[in-house]
């Protein structure tokens, strides 16, 4: 893409690939599952035009970044350490950090654990929820009832990989379509006993927001790397709960922003976390649900997201 510079940064576990554009205050962009730095392709030029140095990273396990073999290497503390390494390499901060999906969790915890390096945080699609009293894996298992919730399905190494590897392109296309505004809704996140996650997903069609050329970027990357690195993030939810005991119930105090699609099923499940923002993110200056938008908010509705993000950034001291 024009005017985007790529570089490799040395992180705690090895290389971290970043794509950057623009000059000015640093804004670090952290993607979710199953995506890459490319999910911020619409935001990089918009942030650069607004006077910021926009940097989108490949989270460890993705793209050209390091892919440790140990499942425990994908715990939240390790991912926060990668964000710290990027900021230090690019000038030391303090930076603004923004994240989508799992990247929202990484951004939120980077702000929580390192307020000295992250002066503000923007969260997309997944709200911040402080550590609670119960192990997350138990809570996710209880959500399924007679069926199985996708997070539980992802827990066993190799299980989801076996479904994905037979048709990486088809699985990705189905995932992107299923979680879009016109997808099947909550049923996309559950599977019956003995079934596959993709059985309820749309088949043989990309969502309207994702063109063939853009899809090929994702498909080529994941056919090369596989998705184990991304799936390992899910396999650390209980480790995170143990690691973050000292921050139990802790709020994020920095200036913050939340943006999500109104048709994102995750927003409905996490409505309590959004309602708790006055306590959990007292520095919140805006919480926005975009009508007609699903989970992939910064790709489905890039112009609205860019406006909300740059307007918010302009208010920061």
Range 226-248 average pLDDT: 98
Is residue 54 classed exposed, middle or buried when 0-12, 13-18 and 19+ CB atoms within 10 A define those classes? buried
Task: Reply yes or no on whether 295 is catalytic.
Answer: yes
The residue annotated as part of the active site, out of 17, 31, 109, 295, is 295
Contact predicate 85/12, CB 8 Å: yes
- Other CB atoms closer than 10 Å to residue 242's CB: what's the count? 11
Q: What is the per-residue pLDDT across 250-272, written as a single tens digit (0 to 9) for each?
A: 999 999 999 999 999 989 989 99
Q: What is the dihedral of CA 29, 32, 36, 38, to 10 degrees?
A: -60
- Other CB atoms closer than 10 Å to residue 6's CB: what's the count? 12
Residue 43 has pLDDT above 80, yes or no: yes
Split at pLDDT 50, 70, 90, the class of 117 is very high
Pairing of strands 256-261, 118-124: parallel
- Other CB atoms closer than 10 Å to residue 38's CB: what's the count? 18
Residue 205 has pLDDT above 90, yes or no: no
Contact predicate 38/64, CB 8 Å: no
The range of the structural domain enclosing residue 144 comes to 5-315
Task: Reply yes or no on whether 101 is catalytic.
Answer: yes
Considering the chain, what is the average pLDDT of its residues? 96
Structural domain total, the chain: 1
Residue 143 has pLDDT above 90, yes or no: no
Split at pLDDT 50, 70, 90, the class of 311 is very high
Rounded to whole angstroms, the Cα distance separating 236 from 239 reads: 5
Helix (H) or strand (E) holding 234: helix 228-234
What are the beta bridge partners of residue 260?
289
Contact predicate 177/206, CB 8 Å: yes
The residue annotated as part of the active site, out of 101, 109, 240, 264, is 101
Residue 218: CATH number of its domain: 3.40.50.1820
């Amino acid at each position: 893409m024009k005017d985007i510079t790529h570089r490799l940064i040395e992180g705690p576990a090895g290389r971290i690939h970043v794509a950057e554009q623009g000059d000015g205050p640093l804004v670090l962009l952290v993607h979710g599952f199953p995506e890459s730095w490319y999910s911020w392709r619409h935001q990089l030029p918009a942030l650069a035009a607004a006077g910021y140095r926009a940097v989108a990273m490949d989270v460890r396990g993705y793209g050209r970044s390091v892919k440790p073999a140990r499942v425990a290497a994908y715990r939240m503390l390790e991912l926060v350490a990668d964000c710290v390494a990027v900021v230090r390499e690019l000038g030391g901060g303090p930076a603004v950090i923004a994240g989508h999906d799992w990247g929202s969790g990484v951004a939120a915890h980077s702000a929580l654990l390192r307020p000295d390096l992250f002066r503000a945080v923007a969260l997309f699609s997944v709200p911040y929820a402080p550590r609670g009293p119960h192990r997350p894996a138990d809570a996710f298992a209880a959500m399924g009832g007679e069926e199985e919730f996708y997070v539980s399905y992802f827990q066993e190494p190799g299980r989801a990989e076996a479904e994905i590897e037979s048709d990486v392109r088809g699985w990705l296309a189905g995932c992107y379509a299923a979680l879009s505004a016109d997808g099947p809704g909550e049923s996309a996140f559950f599977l019956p006993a003995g079934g596959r996650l993709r059985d309820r997903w749309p088949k043989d069609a990309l969502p309207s927001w994702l063109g063939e050329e853009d899809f090929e970027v994702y498909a080529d990357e994941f056919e090369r790397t596989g998705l184990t690195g991304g799936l390992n993030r899910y396999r650390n939810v209980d480790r995170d709960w143990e690691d973050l005991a000292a921050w139990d119930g802790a709020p994020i105090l920095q200036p913050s922003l939340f943006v999500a699609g109104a048709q994102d099923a995750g927003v409905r499940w996490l409505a309590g976390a959004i309602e708790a923002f006055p306590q959990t993110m007292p520095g919140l200056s805006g919480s926005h649900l975009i009508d007609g938008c699903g989970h992939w908010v910064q790709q489905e509705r890039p112009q609205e997201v860019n406006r909300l993000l740059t307007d918010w950034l302009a208010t920061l001291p």
